[in-house]
Amino acid sequence: MKFFGKYLDLIERAIRSVDHSLLRDVADAIMDVSARSKKIILAGNGGSAAMASHVAVDLTKAARIRSINFNEADLLTCFANDYGYENVFEKAVEFYGDEGDLLVLISSSGQSKNVLNAAKKARGMDIGVITLTGFRRDNQLRQMGDFNLWVNSTSYNVVEMTHHIWLVAIVDYIISKIEQPLS
């Protein structure tokens, strides 16, 4: 029982470590992009890809904010085959992104080459960038975002679960603003 108690305490501390005003600022940025009839784009690798898919669906269905993700096998394998895996998200941003969109990039390490290339491409296209990272405070991706949600942990599961909770909290906050606007 000691393991689970310590583990859950670790995750709780990670989840609670975020500045609540930063979560609100990210939610406000998402709502602003939607109000300007632009879209939210999400991307990540592995568990972060699953999270990107989940959040894109929640934003679209529950919050009525147009959102897409780049985790379809046909898209990934086509772009990886033609442009190299390090360029799959960069090329997807190039083909699907529009000026004024908002790109949410999720990478536990903040060092994934394909995610970094997507951030660089977004910057060149006037697309805003939100990053969710962990591991090193000075990771490359964290330095590239307009808003940066960082988890002080080197454990993939702690970082990913924290990112997931933060993202669904943002979605639920947006839904609450739609259903009962608070002054």
Tens digit of each residue's pLDDT (9 = 90 or more) over 90-139? 999 999 999 999 999 999 999 999 999 999 999 999 999 999 999 999 99
Q: Residue 182 pLDDT > 60, yes or no? A: no
Residue 16 C-alpha from the chain's centroid: 18
Give the whole-angstrom CA distance, residue 6 versus residue 3: 5
Q: Which two tokens stand for residue 6?
A: 């310590």
Give the whole-angstrom CA distance, residue 30 versus residue 174: 9
- Show the domains of the chain with their CATH numbers: 2-179 (3.40.50.10490)
Going by pLDDT thresholds of 50, 70 and 90, the confidence category of residue 179 is confident
Helix (H) or strand (E) holding 163: helix 156-179
At 181 the pLDDT is 59
Q: How are beta strands 67-69 and 102-106 bridged, if at all?
A: unpaired
Of the candidates 180, 58, 48, which has an alpha carbon nearest to the alpha carbon of residue 108? 48
Give the whole-number percent of the chain exceeding pLDDT 70.
98
174 secondary structure, DSSP code: H
Q: Indicate the average pLDDT of the chain.
A: 96
Global pTM? 0.94
Q: Residue 180 pLDDT > 80, yes or no? A: no
Assess contact for 129 and 155: CB atoms under 8 A: no
At 100 the pLDDT is 98
At 1 the pLDDT is 73
Query: What's the distance, Cα to Cα, between the start and end of the chain in Å?
Result: 44
Q: Residue 145 pLDDT > 70, yes or no? A: yes
